[in-house]
Chain A
Amino acid sequence: MKKGTQNYINIHTESSPQKPFEMFKQIVKRTFKGEMFVGLWIVFREMIRFNIHTIQYPKEKLPLSPRYRAVHKLLRLIESGNERCIGCGLCEKICIANCIRMDTKIDENSRKVVTEYTINLGRCIYCGYCAEVCPELAIVHGDRYENVSEQRAHFVLKDDMLTPLDLLKQKEQKEYPGFGAISDEADKFIKKTPLAY
């Protein structure tokens, strides 16, 4: 196939009626064929079985693959509760949609702290690079995929993404097994550095 040309395949369909009489014939045929009752029967059958498979969205949600990439989360260190993010800015740098921004400063312990961290979800393409590049496993993708908003430029701020401390205490913060997580055989690839101790 030549580059740049598309190989379209036409699906065979019945030609639609052109004349008024032919249209009338199609309507009558479809109306009295009884296919509707087949459908109604299935609904009725399933109703009396009381074995319903419908997901009651938004009360219920489908389980997601662990690798699903939805709205980001910022995790904390389990023991200390400190923020994992060190403000290295690699996520900001790698972001191909250029939607991550952070403000950093030096704190009273002369450590680098992130004062604000935002992601413009209107621009984010959920590629997962930020989670992959993060050296601290701090930014990860979560499972919240509803992005309804009044504006196109819908931002999440740091406080929205950061694990709340009470949830952390309840051990609700889950490690993220998707993009950027350490692979199971990571140990095999490590070359050891000699230590003089």
Chain B
Amino acid sequence: METLITVTIDGTEIKTKEGEYILNIARANGIFIPAICYLTRCSPTLACRLCLIDIDGKRAYACNAKAKDGMKVTTITDEIAVERRAIMEVYDINHPLQCGVCDQSGECELQNYTLEMEVNTQNYSIKDTQKQKQTWSNFISYDPSLCIVCERCVTVCKDMIGESALKTVKRGGEEIDVTFKESMPKDSYAMWNKLNKSLIGANNGDTLDCSMCGECISVCPVGAIVSSDFKYKSNAWELRSIPATCAHCSSGCQIFYDVKHDSIDNFETEKIYRVKNEWNYVSLCGAGRFGYDFENRAKKDKTAFDRAIEAFKKAKSIKFSSYITNEEALILQKLKEKYGYKLINEDGYRFKNFMNEYSKVSGTLFNTTTTKDIHDSNFVISIGSAIRYDAPNISYALNNSLKINKGSAIYFHPIKDTIVESFSKNIQEININCYSEEALLLFLIDKFANKEKLPSDLVEFLNSQKEKITKSVTEIIKEDVIEKVVDENGVEKEVKKSVPKKIVKDVEVEISKLYDVIGIDDSINSIIENLIAKKDSFSLIIGEDIISSENYKNLAKLVALFEKSTQFKVLIIPTKTNTLGVSLICDLDEKAEGFTIGYNCDGDFKLSALGDGDLDIPALNQQEGTFVNIDKRVVPTNVAIEFDGYCLNDIALTLGISKNRYTIDYTKELPLVTGFQHINFDKLKNMYDNNGNEIRGYSLIQIETNIDEFVFNKPNLNIQKDKITAYRCNPYTQFSYFTNKTTQLKAKASIKLTKSLAKEYELENGSLLKVVFSDGSLELPVEIDDKLDGNFVLIPDFDKNVSVNHYFKNGRYSPITLNKVNA
């Protein structure tokens, strides 16, 4: 535990951690310090200078002043008030008086602080310049004349998202009148000077080339960066914000659905206008922000319902997806208990099996590592995940730990992702061979584990792989050379010079046979040594490649062993939204038999929230319920759009499973044996407090399991090597059929091609390509992703018209050949 220190802010004594920023301390304790440019989890920008405070008689900025014991802070003095007012006056210079049509519609920090600082006159002026509105992408627009250059968008994109797609660009226009230097308060003049130099621009020209997370929209304090879709659709105050949980991936971010009636002509139905987030504490991805209208509009259809009941009566199996709430999963489980259905959920089953193997070694049902642990780490290893595509929120955490904790990281993945590489100079991207995850885990165990905690046969195996080789190394050394130089007076002099010189040395190095399997060489050792120096909190991210591997049993055990024998915290990314919840609630079966009911899945009778089934059921933005997210937290979600049809509970009631009137009545019945608690749904909160504490639902209680004796299975080190490999991976902003159903994200499946492959096959965006698998082929248009490299094509599974999952039965890789299709 860190020792607490005491600082005094405006006479209030506050206990806090040493080194915390004063602004954060004040916010956490309900003391108001104005600030525009600061973002809680990012580095201070010092653009607005509003958070000017007085520390022990000296001026400082609350956003970058770190707490020391005994500090006395005054948040406002007369002098500071004058500065702050002048700063707000500067922000108001030439700001367009179009608040009436601005999309911020009153949720504007410029307005708020202008009123707060009581700015009612303007003393400063500068000639305005004409600035054109810009459309950065289909999703994001920018109006430079509204921009106050607080740089929050730049900061969040760099420190949180990691793409650094935005930068400040030259503003142009006139210089500030020199007379203001005398007449203005010092800080406001300095702030104006900075403001007058820059505007915001996309990093590569006029359009944004990024993952379209839209976080820049949400952090913008004014209406400068806005969602192209939301533009002029509604004023903010008309919208009703419904706190919910994003239903697209296992991060389960807290979001707000903003809803309002559809239009004056159609005022009885509501629709979602936008998604908001608590941007100081949560960052969304593009799917969360723009993929919100996947609701299923349906009316009660009694005949379809009756047919559904009939179908349930004759069914033998129920197949369902993990886009499901815990409550629904529990209903399905209860149906199974009463009627003996087989419950089929492919990814839940895979995850459950993985965790079973994991538990046998770790002795716990799950691990308690959270996303916040990644944020707080300073050495992170990621394996088995194309992290920016699979789990954007985890890649934000990884990037954030690199930027804010001065951390370092290693990203092991077969596909080279140049954006991950550009997160920081302290991240090393290592492109391993496909199918080499087991060897990699063994290598990591060898590298980091406390050998005493390892089973002896494993240690023996690891040692047996090692061998010593001599290797010639080229080293550059500095050598002193004495040269004779004739100076300007013609006198010969001897000058000592240091000259770099290459020498070749033979060095004995220890390598392991595993290196070859993984596709690394002995330089890995020095890389790790350099990166890990002076680091003290470690985490490991385990992605879907590992969970869905054929070899999951060994991998799971190794993951657990790694966690047990090292100081690393291990975060396992559940593959889909509620995979973890499903695996904890349902007793899943491997294979369906007989008549099968599909619940958001294919089946003989299909219940679907996509509107294509035999009976319509509510989508996840039309349901109350809970998910278990990646942080092992049971998080509540709410109804954004009403659903008029039948839901699973109606079927459960008819079939006599329980007398629960509402689906959420099952929240308090979730199984205690897997860590749930018996808490009423209505008691679950869904918010963040001023200190950034996540007050959402509750965390699962850790359950201990029996530890089996660790049996070390020798790994198969003869891994298959293919020339070109298909990798099952969705593009940015897509996770499932549901994201693809939304208005803004609707897309057709295409094959993502890496730069080098596109060059090799001479393909362009949009040209058709035939991908031949061992048991079939796909013909799809090509999309070149210049962020990726390697001999890979990415095959997405978000498009329900293109079914691909059967090609990837044995994991996320599949060997392929490519055939060009001549149009």
Contact = CB atoms under 8 A, between A and B. Distances in A.
B126 interface: yes
B263 A103 contact: yes
A196 B235 CA distance: 33
Interface of A: 86-90, 92-93, 101-106, 110-113, 115-116, 118, 135-136, 191, 193-197
Nearest to B128: A196
Nearest to A104: B232
- The number of chain B residues touching the other chain, given as a range, is 20 to 34
Contacts, number: 60
B234 A194 contact: no
Contact of A194 (B99, B120, B124, B238): B124
Given A194-B124, A196-B127, A135 B100 contact: yes
A113 B125 CA distance: 32
B119 to A, nearest CB: 11
Nearest to A107: B232
Contact of B126 (A92, A104, A196): A196
Contacts of A86: 100-101
Among all A-B residue pairs, the 9 with the closest Cβ atoms: A88-B100, A89-B235, A112-B232, A193-B122, A194-B125, A196-B125, A106-B232, A112-B101, A116-B264
Given A116-B265, A196-B126, A90 B100 contact: yes
Contacts of B126: 196
B264 A103 contact: yes
B125 A193 contact: yes
Contact of B235 (A93, A110, A116): A93
B406 interface: no
Nearest to A191: B121
B101 A88 contact: yes
Interface in B153-183: 174, 177
Given A113-B232, A194-B124, 11 more contacts: A89-B105, A92-B238, A93-B237, A105-B233, A106-B231, A106-B232, A110-B133, A111-B101, A191-B120, A191-B121, A193-B121
B744 to A, nearest CB: 15
A87 B126 CA distance: 30
A196 B264 CA distance: 45
A101 B100 contact: no
A191 B121 CA distance: 7
B123 interface: yes
Contacts of A191: 120-121
Contacts of B265: 116
A89 B234 CA distance: 9
B127 A197 contact: yes
A87 B232 contact: yes
B264 A104 contact: no
A115 B266 CA distance: 13
6 contacts: A135-B100, A194-B123, A194-B125, A196-B126, A196-B127, A196-B177
A90 B232 CA distance: 14
Contacts of A105: 232-233
Contacts of B101: 86-88, 111-112
Among B100, B234, B238: residue with most chain A CB under 10 A: B100
A120 to B, nearest CB: 11
A134 B117 CA distance: 25
Contacts of B264: 101-103, 116, 118
A191 B123 CA distance: 11
Interface string B218-239: 0000000000000111110110
B282 to A, nearest CB: 28
B233 A104 contact: yes
Contacts of A111: 101
A130 B263 CA distance: 21
Nearest to A102: B264
Contacts of B123: 194
B124 A101 contact: no
A164 B589 CA distance: 70
Contact of B122 (A88, A90, A113, A194): A194
A102 B234 CA distance: 9
Interface string B66-102: 0000000000000000000000000000000001110
